[in-house]
Structure 1
Amino acid sequence: MNDARTIVVVDDDTDLRETLGELLVEEGYDARLFENGRTALEFLRADGDDPDLILLDLMMPEMNGWQFREEQLRDARLKEIPVVVMTASRGLDANPITATEILYKPIGLGELIEAVERNASR
């Protein structure tokens, strides 16, 4: 069997982040969990083994989702990693973000796994 696909979860909500991590592991993924964009970006730049997908919250301290995406898109190696944004914000028209897909919180676990399966690179 192939190695598990790696999913990076970036969300400052500890309970949600850990729940998503547990769910992804149960579904056979390797989940890497980060509380803000800065720590996730540091990991991605240092690791060298790109994940198959990033699940990204927008509203976070230190480095929010918009700032993370700006930095990711500037990095030639990281810019091709698909990103599914998870947000409670309904005001994305005023502050749009580029993403492979956008999920609005609260997100059902089935909906989340379907989005991961649709968007995780092979």
Structure 2
Amino acid sequence: MLVFPIVFYPLRLNFDGLLFPSARPLTSDNLRFGLISSGLITLIFLGANFIPSIWDAFQFTGATAAVCIGFIFPAAITLRDRHGIATKKDKILCIFMIVLAVFSNLVAMYSDAYALFKKNASPRE
């Protein structure tokens, strides 16, 4: 029962930080807090009602999360290069790694979607 609030709180904070990076804290802006909360709850409600099986959601989430954690996030951190130690070769390799990760993620998601629709398609006679 308490899993949703524990997961929803950091989701709301991170979403707010992504959309409004220089705004005042979320706790002091009731309108923004209400809009973000209601938008996320609506999105979660629609997803819970229209996703046929939790395993389908796990397939798409797993395919996306694995690529992001393994390839996109490390390459993005290297591209950010706060200390200026990355060479031009490193940055080119990071861009190639991100492009390759996005391509492989698209292939994985297409494969998951194709299997989902093929499984649910009714046979035509």
TM-score by length of structure 2 reads 0.22
Name the structure with the higher strand share: 1
Name the structure with the higher helix share: 2
Bigger RCO (CA 8 Å, 6+ sep)? 1
TM-score by length of structure 1 reads 0.23
